[in-house]
Amino acid sequence: MKLTHGLKSIVILSAAVLLVSCTSSPISPVSERAMPSQLGSAKDFAAHYAELSKGPGKIFNLDPKVSSVRIFAFRAGQAAKVGHNHVLSAPDFKGYFFLALTGAAASSFDIEFRLDQLEIDNPDERKNLGNAFASKLSPEAIASTRDHMLGEDNLQAARFPFVRIRSVQISGETPKFAAKIKVDLHGQTREFWVPLTVIGLPEHLSVEGSLVLRQSDFGAKPYSVLGGLLAVQDEVIVEFKLLGSS
């Protein structure tokens, strides 16, 4: 029986949706013994900032309960309309900001969170993001998204659980700063310049900023099925608002 072009397209789209909704590559539990090179970094920079606190300046502990770190991933491919945009959020992280008395050039910050602890498509996050994130996702669809985006075929969260963002250089004046940062992701490190808005100093700390990362720049392959018919865009947006207390 010969399929018409229209029917053939429907069959392909149905297969794609079935693949995206039902197939998965489960993330195995992270083995601390298997990943010694990625462990202890939060402890290490905590010790670094504890040492900094002994000198002139002020240390702010970044509070995940009142802060937000979100990653936005976008649908792609010829069948993108049947896919979904996604928001990933970090409910927990470790972070510090050192305010040097001598100014921005001597100040620094570090933040670290785990990919395998990210929340995927939290309804409370999606509902305030407009039409692009208006679709309601089932628990099964969210679980499948987690498996695809964080599994062995993409960001490999079991092998590379930690994401770390650390400052290399800060310039500017309150409230606008430019920060050169290093991002450790997927076992690789890349540098970026990002704009920051910092208010509340020196009594309080509020930092807002965002940056664009390409997954392929870190050796990760963006999710794709059926030759790219359904896919996730290479570029993701990382957006953060960090609040800290001394």
Give the number of domains in the chain. 1
- pLDDT of the residue at 41: 60
Domain range for 210:
40-245
Q: Is 80 exceeded by the pLDDT of residue 11?
A: no
% of the chain exceeding 70 in pLDDT: 83
CATH of residue 217: 2.40.128.110
**Does some domain include residue 226?**
yes
Per-residue confidence band for 44, with pLDDT thresholds at 50, 70 and 90: confident
188-198: average pLDDT:
97
- The answer to whether 161 touches 185, Cβ cutoff 8 Å, is no
**Does some domain include residue 21?**
no
**Does some domain include residue 4?**
no
Least confidently predicted of 1-5, 143-147, 201-205: 1-5
C-alpha–C-alpha distance, residues 163 and 34, integer Å: 17
C-alpha–C-alpha distance, residues 176 and 195, integer Å: 7
**Does some domain include residue 150?**
yes
| Axis crossing angle, helix 139-150 with helix 5-22, rounded to the nearest 10 | 80
Token pair 């402890």 is found at 43
**Does some domain include residue 19?**
no
Helix (H, G, I), strand (E, B) or coil at 130: coil
C-alpha–C-alpha distance, residues 196 and 192, integer Å: 12
% of the chain exceeding 90 in pLDDT: 61
* Structure tokens belonging to residue 230: 């359904």
What is the maximal distance between C-alpha atoms in the chain? 80
**Does some domain include residue 49?**
yes
**Does some domain include residue 71?**
yes
**Does some domain include residue 230?**
yes
Q: How far apart are the first and last CA of the chain?
A: 73
